[in-house]
């Protein structure tokens, strides 16, 4: 047992002939103390069979982007690396890499096809392959207070930066802009488009929003595929998603053009609405199975007519609408029934949408870099139905039944709403960093945990004594 060493154990210098051999008992050669076994286990940095990287609880090591799993300085021991490596994780948003071995004999089955390399969100920076040229400016409509900021920004982009600015046609048609002779030269150089008619998704390099959160949501709806970086200025009422102040727009825009700006990848939901008809059986019940699975052809295919397919940033809401009756919808996860929602409806939201409708319905607020999907019931007729958070990689399906009458009799139809995480997030440019911007929005916009500070006990005692005197 002593002669066998791990292939990656630290090298030890050869013992000199003058160095006395330590005295060992006959039993210690075959039996090791628990402390000795723990020390040897900590000194091993790779497993002998599959060379997996282990994270030790005492000296946790963090693999930086670009660093190989098995790279190790030559001639250095694990103890020396533990002394030089930082003890606290700084500027990292991902958790530590989990150990893949559990106890002396158990481990995770290796699957090379499922290995993914994900960059830590804290290190995500914006860069340009080519200098940006085309800038889309989205302005809040019917707000006279934004006319002057809009003109200043367009003048700065066109005259000083030489950019090609795209705006909506209805924005340029504003009376306050058409009657302004000082803006006539800039207005002629603006490129206009019509929503729903002109496709600009492949020619925009940067999006700048002037207004509130609705401008960023509208920008997301314009791009159903890849979304350009979005820079949002707080000129609206709430501004939870708009971290930049317009007073320093020249400096901030110039920094973005230079690159290396921090960005938050706000995940979106890919939504498909499928309408299909299910014939009633002889007993009058729809043709469904009793083990929680959908009938064959509904879980893994696109049976029926896809009437709507889109990418959403905040949430998908299925509610009772104008009906006064209790809604009853079935919720499936990866094709298996998990529950039935009886109430006013259900909200399926992204982490970005967790601070919107879902927060008003009693859900928790999730940081946008947490890969998750939140399911929140709306006024459920159950005291135990609480909001849940599911992994971002699952497919949720909301099944809504309906009864239609025709000349052939009654037929039961279903609307299947399939919801998955989209592969096209919204890259939102940060003003400071990913964590600070979010908590600042919680404090400034939603007044999260705002409370008057409790007075100290000494002050209370002194005040009471002064009153008695």
**pLDDT tens digits for 168-207?**
999 988 888 888 888 999 999 999 998 888 889 899 999 9
Q: Residue 36 belongs to what H/E stretch?
A: helix 34-43
- What structural domains does the chain harbor? 1-16+23-88 (no CATH), 134-261 (3.40.50.10330), 269-423 (2.60.200.30)
Least Cα distance to 265 among 90, 64, 430 occurs for 430
Say if CB 45 and CB 8 are below 8 A apart: yes
Q: Range with the lowest mean pLDDT among 64-68, 337-341, 349-353, 422-426?
A: 64-68
Higher-pLDDT residue of 338, 237: 338
Return d(Cα 222, Cα 168) in angstroms, integer: 11
| pLDDT value for 13 | 45
Q: What percent of the chain has pLDDT over 70?
A: 67
User: Which of 58, 143, 199, 213 is an active site residue?
Assistant: 213
pTM above 0.95, yes or no: no
> Has residue 164 got a pLDDT over 90?
yes
213 flagged as catalytic: yes
Return d(Cα 424, Cα 419) in angstroms, integer: 14
Question: Quick one: average pLDDT of 72-99?
Answer: 54
Higher-pLDDT residue of 103, 318: 318
CA angle 214–220–226, rounded 5-degree value: 165
- Average pLDDT score, the chain: 77
Interstrand relation of 191-193 and 164-168 (parallel, antiparallel or unpaired): parallel
Q: Residue 101 belongs to what H/E stretch?
A: strand 101-102
Q: What percent of the chain has pLDDT over 90?
A: 46
Question: Quick one: average pLDDT of 442-464?
Answer: 80
| pLDDT value for 275 | 81
> Has residue 444 got a pLDDT over 70?
yes
Higher-pLDDT residue of 370, 21: 370
Q: What is the pLDDT of residues 327-379, one digit of tens each?
A: 899 999 999 999 999 999 999 999 999 999 999 999 999 999 999 999 999 99
3-state secondary structure at position 192: strand
Q: Sorting pLDDT into bands at 50, 70 and 90, what band is 288?
A: very low
């Amino acid at each position: 047992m002593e002669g066998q060493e791990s292939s990656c154990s630290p090298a030890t210098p050869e013992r000199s002939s003058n160095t006395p051999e330590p005295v060992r008992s006959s039993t210690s050669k075959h039996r090791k103390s628990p402390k000795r076994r723990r020390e040897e286990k900590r000194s091993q940095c790779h497993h002998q069979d599959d060379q997996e990287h282990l994270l030790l609880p005492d000296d946790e090591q963090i693999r930086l982007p670009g660093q190989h799993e098995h790279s190790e300085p030559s001639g250095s021991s694990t103890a020396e690396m533990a002394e030089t490596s930082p003890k606290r994780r700084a500027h990292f948003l991902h958790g530590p890499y989990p150990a893949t071995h559990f106890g002396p004999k158990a481990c995770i089955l290796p699957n090379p096809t499922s290995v993914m390399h994900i960059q830590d969100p804290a290190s995500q920076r914006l860069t340009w392959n080519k200098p940006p040229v085309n800038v889309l400016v989205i302005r809040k409509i019917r707000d006279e207070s934004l006319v002057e900021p809009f003109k200043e920004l367009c003048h700065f982009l066109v005259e000083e930066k030489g950019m090609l600015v795209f705006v909506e046609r209805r924005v340029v048609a504003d009376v306050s802009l058409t009657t302004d002779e000082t803006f006539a030269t800039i207005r002629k150089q603006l490129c206009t488009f019509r929503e729903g008619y002109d496709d600009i998704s492949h020619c925009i390099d940067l999006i700048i929003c002037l207004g509130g959160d609705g401008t960023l949501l509208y920008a997301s709806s314009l791009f159903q595929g890849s979304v350009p970086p979005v820079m949002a200025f707080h000129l609206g009422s709430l501004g939870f998603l708009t971290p930049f102040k317009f007073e320093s727009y020249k400096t901030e825009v110039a920094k973005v053009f230079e690159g290396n700006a921090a960005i938050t990848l706000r995940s979106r939901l890919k939504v498909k609405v499928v309408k299909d008809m299910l014939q009633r059986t002889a007993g009058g019940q729809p043709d469904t199975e009793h083990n929680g699975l959908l009938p064959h052809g509904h879980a893994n295919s696109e049976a029926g007519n896809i009437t709507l397919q889109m990418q959403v940033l905040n949430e998908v809401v299925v509610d009772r609408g104008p009906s006064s009756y209790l809604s009853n919808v079935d919720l499936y996860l990866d094709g298996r029934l998990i529950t039935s929602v009886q109430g006013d409806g259900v909200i399926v939201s992204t982490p970005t949408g967790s601070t919107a409708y879902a927060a008003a319905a009693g859900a928790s607020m999730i940081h946008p870099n947490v890969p998750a999907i939140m399911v929140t019931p709306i006024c459920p007729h159950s005291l135990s139905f609480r909001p849940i958070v599911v992994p971002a990689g699952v497919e949720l399906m909301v099944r809504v039944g309906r009864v239609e009458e025709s000349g052939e009799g009654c037929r039961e139809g279903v609307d299947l709403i399939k919801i998955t995480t989209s592969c096209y997030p919204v890259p939102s440019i940060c003003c400071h960093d990913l964590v600070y911007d979010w908590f600042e929005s919680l404090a400034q916009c939603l007044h999260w945990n705002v409370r008057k500070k409790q007075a100290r006990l000494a002050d209370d005692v002194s005040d009471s004594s002064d009153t008695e005197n």
